[in-house]
Amino acid sequence: GQSLEQPSEVTAVEGAIVQINCTYQTSGFYGLSWYQQHDGGAPTFLSYNALDGLEETGRFSSFLSRSDSYGYLLLQELQMKDSASYFCAVRDPYSSASKIIFGSGTRLSIRP
């Protein structure tokens, strides 16, 4: 089976940097994705790591260590609009349609 663990809540200050960690246990692995979801909104794709290392997209970066079954999402120069839930996710390698398995989500609250 597949399972992902991430903290339920993180609080940070506007303008600061925050890291959201994710550990996973999977019987097969394609890569780790991150999604952002604002309250009442749809999950929005942020990033995907198939290989070890850091991927940077603007203020957001994502890191993967396959040997440690661990990844993180790094958000820099935090803005109030970054307040949302962030989900790490994997594709089920045994799924014919590559269904997504989501972690339980980390609610990021940003203080002025």
Partner 1 sequence: EPEVTQTPSHQVTQMGQEVILRCVPISNHLYFYWYRQILGQKVEFLVSFYNNEISEKSEIFDDQFSVERPDGSNFTLKIRSTKLEDSAMYFCASSLLTGGAETQYFGPGTRLLVL
Taking the C-alpha atoms of residue 23 and residue 100, their distance in angstroms, rounded to an integer, is 16
Q: How far is the CB of 111 from partner 1 (least distance, A)?
A: 22
Among 3, 15, 45, 79, binds partner 1 (CB under 8 A): 45
Distances (CA, A) of 73 to 19, 27, 55, 69: 6, 23, 10, 14
Q: Does 104 bind partner 1 (CB under 8 A)?
A: yes
Give the tokens for residue 78.
Answer: 């935090």
Torsion of CA 82, 71, 105, 74, to 10 degrees: -10
Q: Which is nearer to partner 1, 15 or 25 (CB)?
A: 25
Stretch that binds partner 1, among 16-24, 60-68, 73-81, 86-94 (CB under 8 A): 86-94
Q: Where on the chain is the footprint of partner 1 (CB under 8 A)?
A: 30-31, 37, 40-45, 48, 50, 87, 91, 93, 95-105
